């Protein structure tokens, strides 16, 4: 009755406050998601759910590290390499980070050329991004091999707290799996771009409408997310 009276006198009803107001705004908006493609919306939903998973992993790692009474290994010592007789801490991790962050730049350029419908440059930049991602995974495999040979296991490690091994293999392994999947999809999409599937609208998996390179952007969203997650892993696991 109150809302009817307000409407009759030319006044709008009072908006609810807090979360009820936010829900009312989104539910009444007829255009909130109409300009977003199905593929892009689903990728954002997937990335949001994946953010929760990585957040749980990192929070569990911080909880384990702060609660254990056994000394935690020093990352500068554990992840150091002997090069030409010099003990260099975190050198491999620094190179891995540089490689992965650089791949974000090449991926961004691939998306840019994709919207310009430059088929060759888009495909080449995506393949460069895939090569950088594969290089990262290869260096991570070398890192795993080195630590396993030194006695690190998910249930123990020779430098202190046993939780170090399980945290390391779980977090870096889960992220490495994401990078590997991203490399595979980059190669698949780059091949389709190179063949001109998006220019002629050839039917098949991951092929959008004729002249639409949006799938390149969707792949880029995933890749940038993987790179961003590595920044947090690098900060919390290797620098702390």
Return per-residue pLDDT of the chain as tens, 240 residues.
Answer: 444 444 444 444 566 677 776 666 655 555 555 666 778 888 999 999 999 999 999 999 999 888 888 888 888 888 888 887 778 888 999 999 999 999 999 999 999 998 888 889 999 999 999 999 999 999 999 999 999 998 888 888 888 888 888 899 999 999 999 999 999 999 999 999 888 877 675 665 556 565 577 889 999 999 999 999 999 999 988 888
Check residue 1 and give its pLDDT: 46
Check residue 4 and give its pLDDT: 46
Check residue 233 and give its pLDDT: 94
Check residue 27 and give its pLDDT: 58
Hey, what domains does the chain have and what are their CATH numbers? 1-35 (no CATH), 38-238 (1.20.120.80)
Check residue 24 and give its pLDDT: 65
**pTM, full prediction:** 0.81
Check residue 13 and give its pLDDT: 54
Check residue 83 and give its pLDDT: 82
Left, alpha or beta for 153 (phi > 0: left; psi -120 to 50: alpha)?
Answer: beta
Check residue 204 and give its pLDDT: 59
């Amino acid at each position: 009755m109150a809302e009817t009276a307000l409407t009759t006198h030319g006044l709008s009803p009072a908006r609810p406050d807090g979360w009820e107001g936010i829900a009312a705004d989104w539910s009444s908006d007829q255009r909130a998601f109409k300009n977003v493609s199905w593929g892009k919306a689903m990728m954002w939903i997937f990335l949001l759910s994946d953010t929760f998973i990585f957040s749980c992993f990192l929070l569990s790692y911080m909880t384990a590290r702060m609660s254990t009474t056994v000394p935690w290994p020093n990352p500068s010592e554990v992840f150091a390499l002997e090069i030409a007789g010099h003990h260099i801490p975190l050198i491999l991790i620094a190179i891995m980070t540089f490689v992965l962050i650089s791949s974000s730049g090449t991926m961004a350029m691939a998306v840019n050329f994709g919207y310009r419908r430059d088929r060759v440059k888009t495909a080449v930049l995506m393949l460069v991004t895939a090569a950088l991602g594969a290089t990262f995974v290869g260096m991570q495999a070398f890192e795993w091999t080195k630590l396993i040979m030194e006695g690190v296991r998910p249930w123990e490690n020779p430098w202190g707290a046993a939780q170090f091994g399980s945290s390391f293999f779980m977090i870096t392994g889960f992220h490495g799996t994401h990078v590997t999947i991203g490399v595979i999809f980059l190669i698949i999409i780059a091949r389709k771009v190179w063949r001109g599937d998006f220019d002629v609208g050839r039917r098949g998996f991951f092929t959008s409408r004729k002249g639409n390179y949006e799938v390149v952007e969707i792949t880029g969203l995933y890749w940038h997310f993987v790179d961003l997650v590595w920044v947090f892993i690098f900060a919390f696991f290797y620098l702390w």
